[in-house]
Amino acid sequence: MTLSRIEPRFVHEYGVGCIVWSYNLGYSTTAFPNGAPATWADLFDLKKFPGKRTVLDQPVASLEVALLADGVAPDKLYPLDVDRAFRKLDGIKGQTVFWTTNSQSQQLFVDREVVAGIILNGRVYDAAQKGAKIALSWEQNIQAVDYLVVPKGSKNRDAAMRLIDTMTVADNQAKVANLIAYSPTNIEAYKTIDAKLEPWLCTTPANTKRGFIMSQLYWRDHLKELTERWTAWKIA
């Protein structure tokens, strides 16, 4: 494949990005008649915005959200102040329903079991298109990239490279975006993405400006230890 087709910020020495999505503050459009939550701090304000929350059942993004809500600037997040993040999460733990799959996060809103929480932008889009009373905020959206890689020593390297080539063709990436509002990494794909999806994509200029890209290098080095701590925190 030709790397020049991929936006440079989604290419690194070990792989190429295929889709970009974001963790957003999702909320019920019927639960807050006096104004909807707009920031991560609002997610933790149970008095002003009462009701059950939902948070993904893992430290990834959850810890970032807690620190952002506690006033840490995006460019000061890493390395994460883990103790501070868990202290912040303690404040909503008793009012939180944890989700383990993207479909579950979406269904919690559809069934009105929760009124606000962390959810992927594409899941809010999908639920809203199906009639759910849900919306999202783009403030401090946390962008993440799915990368395509070929393991070192792979016996099927050539076939894998052909697959990567196919998955980064503009038309193919546009098809994915049109289905669930996850952004392409091939900028040519934007030419054939339905215009109605522009407000839903985390990589449109306005949404990019209000968000940041998660440090996947940080999570590569700390995922195991922080997952163990997350599990211990949940059952404490």
Q: How far apart are CA 179 and CA 193, in angstroms?
A: 10
Residue 12: the pLDDT is 85
Residue 113: the pLDDT is 97
pLDDT digits (tens, 9 = 90+) for 15-38: 999 999 999 999 999 999 999 999
**DSSP secondary structure of 25-73:** EEEESSS-TT----SHHHHT-TTTS-S-EEEESSSTTHHHHHHHHTT--
CATH class given for the domain over 18-148+162-235: alpha beta
> What is the token pair recorded at 188?
């040519």
Residue 116: the pLDDT is 98
pLDDT digits (tens, 9 = 90+) for 107-143: 999 999 999 999 999 999 999 999 999 999 999 999 9
